[in-house]
Amino acid sequence: MISLSLLEFFGGAYFLVTEVSRELWRRPFYSRLVIEQVYQIGVRSLPLVIVTGLSTGMVMALQFGLGLEKFGGKPYVPKIVSLSIVRELGPVFTSLMIAARVGAGITSEIGSMTVTQQIDAIRALGTSPIKKIVIPRVLGCLIALPLLVAIANAIGVYGGMVVAVADLGLDQQFYMQKVYQTILLTDYMSGFMKTFFFALFISITACYYGLNVKGGTKGVGTATTMSVVTSSIFIFVGDYFLTKLFWVFEQWV
Amino acid sequence: MGMIDVRNFAKSFDGVQVHKKVSFTVNKGECLGIVGGSGVGKSVVLRSLIGLEKPDSGEIYIEGEEISKYSEEQLIPIRTKVAYVFQNGALFDSMSVYENLAYPLREHTKMSESEIAKRIHEQLSEFGLAEAESKEPAQLSGGMQKRVGLARSIIIGPEVILYDEPTAGLDPYNSLKIQEMILRLKAKGSTSIFVSHDMPSVFAVCDRIALLLDGEIKAVGRPDELREDPDGLLQKFVSGEAG
């Protein structure tokens, strides 16, 4: 049963991606709808992303600082915290937060439109739900998520610095100097580039479940849960393979 | 060949054959009523006429053009010619009444915003909805939502109008209002299909009535013919003996 619904999901998501890639280049273009989505996904998620980034950086610094203190390893805190945030935690935690907030929102919104025949109305009025609904949300995620991750990374490193200075007694200049010395462009990009894939996982999954809601309002709830669970799993599983891919790429460069 | 021709339409859902061989013709300027019991698939036939559903087999002709295998892109010109009035209005709940009506005009015409505003005001006045312009769909009664849905469907002047239970769940006053609007559109020459359970409305607006039963059209006739045939299937359906 589970394998059948998985197969159904992969097939449906594949067709959705195909349709999005085909219709993306065809007129008319709804740039206003894309801007609206960038605002909804990006600007309105900012408080959540700031809290996530800040707490991640602070907790990381505290855990590593206290753990490494016994071995005299406190000076390594800036290096460990910034690398972990930029390569892994910033992109993954931010994407998970967006999957929960935005993915759930997209699925429930489109799902409600499906059960109230608004998606059918879009089609009946001679327009395309892919162009009107799906593409703006996919592009909105593709634009907003990398920007949110960039902000989360910066805030996370800053949060680490606050703890390093206040609780671990490290010098602020020393902390920043170590961060600049440690983080290379390849480190930053290996985390940052993942966000484009995560944005696709979140938006395509959310739109797919929204468009395929069955069984009225109860179905909307089920689809929303499925959307968040599926995109979160994709983020975790995809993260492993993308890390491996970028690692090979870094060695090659 | 009529304005709409459906030939041997067949469709099944989850292995159950709902439509076996549905065939009918609607001539230009005519209003055909399709009646039948709940679950016989009246709305599915109607939805198929604009490609919202695809038949398993059979043909659908709109003005001689076979559309049953058309892609979504090929269906766009058909959908500007054939309007669909949804049972619950299917209004976009994130938009006001004005924006709902502006939607097809912005998508399919080159009208300026002032021309669009003028057209919408005219349409809303004609439908007795002038005060509803800035309201959200959630603020409207069921009858008003249906009227706005009808106004939105016909605002770009389609040649064919498909009504899916337009009077279902309405009080006699709103039901009569909808009937009047349909009759007004009919007088302007629109071709239409009227799917309903509401027999008084069907008799009031339709030129011919078709009974969908057991996956086929079992009887077709003018309302007066059907009224005068007490042994006919349609008369039995009306009296509750068939369906």
**What is the radius of gyration, based on Cα positions, of chain B?**
18
DSSP single-letter state for residue A29: P
Cβ A124–B88 below 8 Å, yes or no?
no
Work out the percent of chain A whose per-residue pLDDT is above 90: 85
Contact A105, A231 (CB under 8 A): no
Cβ B76–A126 below 8 Å, yes or no?
yes
Cβ contacts from A onto B, under 8 A: 52
* pLDDT given at position B140: 94
Does the beta carbon of A124 lie under 8 angstroms from any beta carbon of chain B?
yes
Rounded-to-integer distance, Cα A199 and Cα A205, Å: 10
Does the beta carbon of A126 lie under 8 angstroms from any beta carbon of chain B?
yes
Of the partner residues B52, B80, B104, the one whose CB lies closest to the CB of residue A120: B52
Q: Which of A15, A213, A217, A211 is nearest to A119 (CA)?
A: A211
Rounded-to-integer distance, Cα A78 and Cα A171, Å: 11
Does the beta carbon of A217 lie under 8 angstroms from any beta carbon of chain B?
no
CA dihedral B21, B27, B33, B37 (to 10 degrees): 0
* DSSP class per residue in A175-187: HHHHHHHH--HHH
pLDDT band at A39 (very low <50, low <70, confident <90, very high): very high
Domain residue extents for chain B: 4-238
Rounded-to-integer distance, Cα B104 and Cα B144, Å: 19
Task: Indicate the helix (H) or strand (E) that contains A171.
Answer: none
**pLDDT tens profile B146-204:** 999 999 999 998 999 999 998 888 888 888 888 998 999 999 999 999 999 888 899 99
A120 CB neighbours in chain B (<8 A) are: 47, 52, 86, 90
Work out the percent of chain B whose per-residue pLDDT is above 70: 98
Does the beta carbon of A30 lie under 8 angstroms from any beta carbon of chain B?
no
Does the domain formed by B4-238 have CATH 3.90.950.20? no
CA dihedral A41, A145, A217, B46 (to 10 degrees): 90
Rounded-to-integer distance, Cα A112 and Cα A224, Å: 11
* pLDDT given at position B174: 82
Does the beta carbon of B86 lie under 8 angstroms from any beta carbon of chain A?
yes
CA dihedral B190, B196, B198, B201 (to 10 degrees): 10
A128 CB neighbours in chain B (<8 A) are: 72-73
Rounded-to-integer distance, Cα A61 and Cα A165, Å: 10
Does the beta carbon of A31 lie under 8 angstroms from any beta carbon of chain B?
no
ipTM over 0.85: yes
